[in-house]
Structure 1
Amino acid sequence: SAQTYSLSRNLPYPPSLVYSVISDVDSYCKFVPYCVESTVIHRDSRTNQPIKATLRVGWKAFEESFESQLKCEEPHSVIAQSCKHSLFKLLYTRWRIIPHADQSLTRVVMDLKFAFANPLYNTVSATFAPTVTKIMIEAFEQRIAEM
């Protein structure tokens, strides 16, 4: 069955900036840990928002590429759903960008749901997935701070 993780942060930045960093998939390889290549391969002709991307992730000797369908709703959310892949039965990420009652803050929620095709990978990933999820949201937080 799928593993699900959710993390949230209140960031001292406007929603538009938070959204622009999260939706800039082409730049993921510059700041997302383990992402060695990120390429938007299709954009919405009307909005120019990314709708399909290829990501290549690597760690030590392991390296894997996969395509994701993207749904970007400016400035509220970015959803990535991995297309069919031999490694994953399911890989789904949803970023929610929520205006905060304190207008100097933006609430960011990252939901991650995944299931590997190999049951052994699911067992092993249960030990490191919470740490990787935290590392990921912190990488986005740092990138937003640098913008």
Structure 2
Amino acid sequence: MALRLLPPLRASIAASRIASSASRTSNLSRPFFTLPGSSPTTQSLTATRKLPYAPAPLYDLIADVDSYVQFVPYCSRSRVTRWSDPDAAGRRWPTLADLHVGWGGFDEVFTSRLRCVPGVSVEAVSGSTQPGGGGPDASAVFRSLVTRWSVKELAGLPSPSTEVHLAIDFQFTNPLYAAVSAAVSDKVAGLMIEAFEKQARQKLGSRRKL
């Protein structure tokens, strides 16, 4: 893993800019961060949007990991390095990818194991999801990092309508990292799903708002 810690002044300015640009989030939640000296705990962020598109094209956008660099906040590069065997429909899905991410003063390369459930969810896992975290692909900043996108068709609303849900679970290797990134981390899920909505409008066309 490559880690570059930005100078304190630049990190502070970056966090301030991100916080000021994130006034519009959706169903966002965050827990209290661990205090210095305590054991790192898993923290969770979530965001949800209802979008006026069918689930299938939205899922295809989520599964197109190579395109994340075009719209995902803090992602400077994304590259799928391994694909699944063709499924019954002859389609291959990403199973491993490298993501270059800068977040709250950190700049790092993550190797993520991808789990695709076609038409339902895409999960990216770095490190270990077992108690204590760690693992061959754990980073210097995160003991574990799990990002899960899911789509669900909405009944009772004008068709087509889909709920897009984003959940991020992460555990820092050191509680001090939580304090450094506190001004940024609680905005991440909302900014990511807002960026995804803009990508959907660009790729799938503008529709009515739900």
Q: TM-score, normalised by structure 1?
A: 0.93
Shift of 1:118: 1.8
Aligned residue in 2 for 1:32: 72
Q: Is the 8 A contact 1:115 1:122 kept in 2?
A: no
Aligned partner of 2:97 in structure 1 is 53
Q: Which has the higher strand share?
A: 1
Contact 2:98 2:112 in 1 (8 A): yes
Q: 1:129 maps to what in 2? A: 185
Structure 2 residue corresponding to 1:66, chosen from 100, 110, 113:
110
Displacement of 1:17 in angstroms is 1.1
Query: How much is the aligned-residue C-alpha RMSD, in angstroms?
Result: 1.6
| CA–CA distance in structure 1, aligned partners of residues 169 and 57 of structure 2 | 25
Residues 1:144 and 2:200 are matched in the alignment: yes
In structure 2, the CA distance between the partners of 1:90 and 1:59, relative to structure 1 (3 Å rule), is: closer
Percent identity of the aligned residues?
A: 41
Of the two, which has the highest radius of gyration? 2
Give 3-state SS (helix, strand or coil) of 1:108's partner: strand
In 1, the alpha carbon distance for the partners of 2:85 and 2:172 equals 33
Structure 1, residues 30-61: CA drift from partner, whole Å, max 9, x if none? 11121111000000022310000000113697
Query: Match of 1:28, SS?
Result: helix
* Structure 1 match to 2:140: 86
TM-score by length of structure 2 reads 0.66
Unaligned runs of 5+ in 1: none
1:3 match = 43
Say which SS state the counterpart of residue 110 (structure 1) adopts. Answer: strand
Equivalent-residue separation in structure 2 for 1:70 and 1:105 (angstroms): 26
Structure 2 equivalent of residue 116 of structure 1? 172
Q: How many residues align?
A: 147
What per-residue deviation string (whole Å, max 9, x for no partner) do you get for residues 70-122 of structure 1?
01111100011013222211100111101101232100110111111121112
